[in-house]
Amino acid sequence: MTKPLDSVAAEWTLITGGSHGIGLALARECLRQGLGVAIVALPNQDLAEAVTELRPLASGKLRHYGIDLTASGAVVRVLHWLEEENIQVTYLVNNAGFGRGGLFEHTVWEEYQRMLQLNNQVMTELIYRLLPQLKVRSGGILNMSSMEATLPLPYKTVYTGTKAFVYNFSLALREELRHHGVSVSVLCPGPVITNEDGLRRVEAQGARARLLVTMPDDIAPAAIHGMLSGKAVIVPGRLIRLLILISYLTPRPWRMRILEKLFSRYRNDALTEVSGAVPVKTDTYSS
């Protein structure tokens, strides 16, 4: 099979979960910056629609691969696909992930297992296996965390735990890889509306939540600029940065009581019962 010449010439960005929401906005911004974009996402209608939308911006520098990244051997299959497409990755954007709120025991274990795998294990394995390419090309890594990485939220226990792992792992790995010419950045947005379900949840939480939320296209330019410039921690929005600062300055016992009070509606939320648990769409919210 003849390899596309532009695959060799372009600086390619691999974006997981790039078919909708934040991932799609990041893909769009990378194309605007002249980067080739290789999207890996679930093989569904979102991916087909994303490719249709992005193709006019791509100048031939767009590839896509539909796969469930939590499936056994998925990361290895992604690497084989990149090899078939003759793509050498310069930038890796680990965006795929999902979250869920509710009492800890009211979510089925299989959903927690998938969350841990997608938010943490897949990200770590992709970096591990692509690191040789990234070193050769003096590339960069952008990992999706959240402002909640610094806020251990009651009723979002596992999700905030996964994002704290992303945050700490990214900063530690950054120090290791700075001696090898590879930059690691971590993105910590506040609440981001990525679909109608997320919008309904924000509206249900009232004016306070609406004050904090942003749209994917609002954070993508800062995220990609931060990755390309090698910034360590990217926190889009002055209000979000202020809230993180205040949280650091607040004594931990007070902070935890305040956080529990803010999310106390989950205590008796019937929608969080195991019998009614519905898997959240990947990248439904990122805070």
Tens digits of residue pLDDT in 170-189? 999 999 999 999 999 999 99
- In sequence order, the 6+-apart residues with CB closer than 8 A to the CB of 143 are 94, 123, 166, 169, 170, 184, 185, 186, 187
pLDDT tens profile 6-62: 444 579 999 999 999 999 999 999 999 999 999 999 999 999 999 999 999 998 899
In the chain the first and final C-alpha atoms are separated, in Å, by 43
Q: What is the pLDDT of residues 50-103, one digit of tens each?
A: 999 999 999 889 999 999 999 999 999 999 999 999 999 999 999 999 998 888
Q: Which of 191, 139, 143, 131 is nearest to 167 (CA)?
A: 143
Q: Give residue 275's pLDDT.
A: 29
**pTM of this prediction?**
0.82
| CATH superfamily, region 12-286 | NAD(P)-binding Rossmann-like Domain (3.40.50.720)
Q: What φ, ψ does residue 156 adopt, rounded to 5°?
A: -135, 45
